[in-house]
Structure 1
């Protein structure tokens, strides 16, 4: 890779861009012998951007240069090439006949791109392999009862308005962290006992208890989100957390997924926006169409949901979405135990 000073690039970029276009090689740019940036051929840069955008989960933000030098108001032309300077005064785009030929990126941004592209390539599955993987998933038997069976009742806010699945901590530890009464936990209070007491005494404690248990390595919780009776937070955050909330009067049914406390955005991330833009509403999902865009952190769920559409036997958006989640994360709820009340629960800590 040849190296030039920034002053040389600015004075004679036509020759240098011609070299990049002809050879497909990068050009290192220095400023006073200090590394400043790299001229990258457009095709190579497009490939880096493609794979870098496919990195999911926690990642460092793309470094951006702060405006440190003046830049021209309009484009500049030399021979067949036109130079456009970005507002930060560092990044530059070079075109010929309205087609991008090369771009100048800072050393820091290019290093970020290359690292994320490397990670993105490692998780890339060619279309043929993706199709084979989809077929493999379709053949796998479902473990436990799954969660799709509760979807229609949950949509009607029965038996819970909030369902949570937490990876790592034991059910009793989660219940205590959420503010459940320690005596109820020690006494192993059962949901059917609360039902019977409500019927006998005319109370409605069933709407103020936290129901909990464990299935297939996940702690699951069910409760009604009334008056913020439970804290809904763990310290440190679990490795994975899934939250499903039903608000029937407003027809809002949302899904949230966290890894190591980091919210996994349902939309493609933009560099200049906060990572948490919104939850995903289940009514946005149309069976037959992938719910998440290919470059969104949650796009890995598309395969599981499409498989569920083909093999699960469920109909309707919410049951099918639940069927996809149960396959993606190996989620299950004990159907007979919940419907008969043979599951543990606890009231909020008595004040």
Structure 2
């Protein structure tokens, strides 16, 4: 990147801006030999701003006014210079269209760092569609979750299944209010089952089972008496919740990404309208469950592939088979069946 002194920019900005506009190249600007900023094309800056705004974290560096600025716009040839109040930023306009801007080195570094992070997860619509099609053809990770659909329909082994990205299983269990002593002692699900059979108790209804599969932490529990708090701070980047209410025939799926509920919004929109849980019985095999423009539409090809390439016939199992392909969800079949998964009671009240 070529360098130019700020005094030269002010003396002949028409020639320099014309060069930036024509070549699309950036110019490093120095002030007395020290870095003062970067002059960059408006299109370049627009792209950085577009991606950087998608990433949260850290205040944007803003210089304090340290240089006298012109009293009004300055014109040279076809270009007009507008100086900003911070004494560093400058905007260059031709025919009322912004063509270039001067930004501080610190601010540009901040923008590029945030934009780089955002670009890593970005695909244009055609790329995204092709990638979703590729993922939909992949087999499930580990045991998948479709195997649990039949027993889950009858609320076995749990009423609620949750999958979280971010916290470890132990961190999630503690945040939900699990007894730290049970976690430290390594309590297992079969121990609770054996006690229930031996003593005629129902402790299995009051425990939280937990584990890890791939990039996900999973939790299983019966939400009896709201014994567990479901509180995580900060919230997980991804949360998938599957809830079975056998008595009412309600079987629900919810997905929250970066704090935003991805489920459909009810038609009665208003100030208090909230996205609703998707009821899995709404899904009819052979028909895409989500509208093409819905946030959850990316699940359609995965569920379609499950219909085409698995032996499942039950609608809940097929829906689960689609989820396991879309999100790489899995539950340890043998460990859950034999009760070897760790679990914990709620922390007793003081």
RMSD: 5.4
Q: Deviations over 1:107-157 (max 9, x none)?
A: 122233444555666666677665544333222222424269659979x99
**Distance apart, 1:291 and its partner CA:** 1.8
Question: What is aligned with 2:206?
Answer: 208
Contact 1:246 1:252 in 2 (8 A): yes
Structure-2 change in CA distance of 1:71 and 1:141 (3 Å): same
Pairwise CA distance, 1:102? 0.6
Match of 2:264 in 1: none
Larger radius of gyration: 2
Of the three residues 281, 291, 295, the one matched with 2:295 is 291
**Mapping for residues 185-334 of structure 1, pairs under 5 Å:** 185-186=186-187, 188-189=189-190, 205-213=203-211, 215=213, 219-223=217-221, 224=223, 229=228, 242=239, 244=241, 255-256=255-256, 264=258, 266=260, 283=277, 286-289=290-293, 291=295, 305-313=299-307, 325-333=323-331
Q: CA 1:288–1:324 in 2, change beyond 3 Å: closer, same or farther?
A: farther
Deviation digits for residues 9-39 of structure 1 (CA, Å, limit 9, x no counterpart): 3454334322322343323222343211111
Which residue is 2:5 aligned to? 4
User: How far apart are 1:49 and its partner, in Å?
Assistant: 4.4
How far 1:211 moved relative to its partner? 2.5
Kindly indicate whether residue 137 of structure 2 is the aligned counterpart of residue 135 of structure 1: no
Q: State the distance in 2 between where 1:217 and 1:23 align.
A: 45
The normalised TM-score by structure 2 is: 0.61
Q: What is the aligned partner in structure 2 of residue 13 from structure 1? A: 13
- For residues 216 and 2 of structure 1, the distance between their equivalents in structure 2, rounded to whole angstroms, comes to 49
Alignment of 1:67 onto 2:64? yes
Helix, strand or coil for the counterpart of 1:110?
Answer: helix
**How far apart are 1:64 and its partner, in Å?**
2.4
Do the aligned partners of 1:192 and 1:340 also contact (CA within 8 Å) in 2?
no
1:177-221 per-residue CA deviation (whole Å, 9 max, x = no partner) reads 8533539854654565587699x56x6x55532123555675521
Deviations 1:221-257 (A, max 9, x none): 12338566568669xx9x98746386999x9975456
Rounded to whole Å, the distance in 2 between the matches of 1:326 and 1:101 is: 48
Distance in 2 (alpha carbons) for counterparts of 1:72 and 1:152: 74
1:277 corresponds to which residue?
A: none
Residue 53 of structure 1, CA deviation: 6.1
Mapped to 1, the partners of 2:10 and 2:255 lie a distance apart of 51
Please name the residue that 2:39 is paired with. 39
Q: CA deviation at 1:93?
A: 2.2
For the 8 Å contact 1:252–1:281, the answer to whether it is kept is: no
In 1, Cα distance between equivalents of 2:87 and 2:157: 57
Change (3 A) 1:342 1:127: same
Aligned-partner Cα distance in 2 for 1:36–1:151: 66
Match of 2:301, SS? Answer: helix
Q: How far apart are 1:95 and its partner, in Å?
A: 1.8
1:97 aligns to what?
95
Q: TM-score, normalization: structure 1?
A: 0.60
Query: How many pairs are equivalent?
Result: 308
CA contact (8 A) 2:206 2:227 kept: no
2:108 counterpart SS class: helix
